[in-house]
Structure 1
Amino acid sequence: MTMTLVAPTVAGYEASADLASLLVRTAQDDALSVSAETLRLSCKCAHCTRARFDGRFPKAFPGIAITDIGDLGYGLNISFSDGHNRGIYPKSYLLNLAGQ
């Protein structure tokens, strides 16, 4: 008997009603959630990478909210209430952040 493993894929997403989390639905119909703060802390854009390198990246983003989500196909461009809008989150990275 052969068992085929299927990696979870993102089928849908939306910001939570309070904008404090990204709600993700997988093609396997799992409902996952990633906090806006986790997303903001996990941004890998050049600006955030440089700020980490220079020791200027904040350790927390209390009260941060998701203000916009753009779908790029392979990932999401998420904008935040602090004005940051450079982060692109590949869908596989989002699933990792959500513990999948």
Structure 2
Amino acid sequence: MTMTALVTSTVVDYEASADLTSLLVRTTQNDALSVPAETLRLSCKCAHCTRARFDGRFPETFPGIAITEIGDLGYGLNIAFSDGHNRGIYPKTYLLRLAGR
């Protein structure tokens, strides 16, 4: 009986694009992926954004949003945006889903 190991890709490197409009990630499978800053901002699952969605106060778009800071928490990234929002933590598996993986 042979067993095939299931290899799960994860984020191993990241940076903001030169124009700050996308998060560029590299995976353990050596894939280079990009997630637009607006997609990240719209996909934030922090308590503040979750409550704003519940109350109907969450914007439908974030035109011109930029990534201003990225903090590595090991299991995910804390991303700050040009609108001042800095509460979002994006687990690496979630980032890959947002990138279409």
- Provide the TM-score with structure 2 as the length reference: 0.96
**Identity in percent:** 81
Secondary structure of 2:87's counterpart equals coil
TM-superposition CA deviations, 1:9-64 (whole Å, max 9, x none): 11100000000000000011000000000000000000000000000000000000
Structure 1 residue runs of 4 or more that deviate by more than 6 Å after TM superposition: none
Aligned to 2:20: 19
Letter paired with 1:19:
L
Count of residue pairs brought into register by the alignment: 100
Aligned to 2:83: 82
Gap runs ≥5 in structure 1: none
TM-superposition CA deviations, 1:48-92 (whole Å, max 9, x none): 000000000000000000000000000000000000000000000
Gap runs ≥5 in structure 2: none
Q: How does 1:46-65 map to 2 (within 5 A)?
A: 46-65=47-66
- Provide the TM-score with structure 1 as the length reference: 0.97
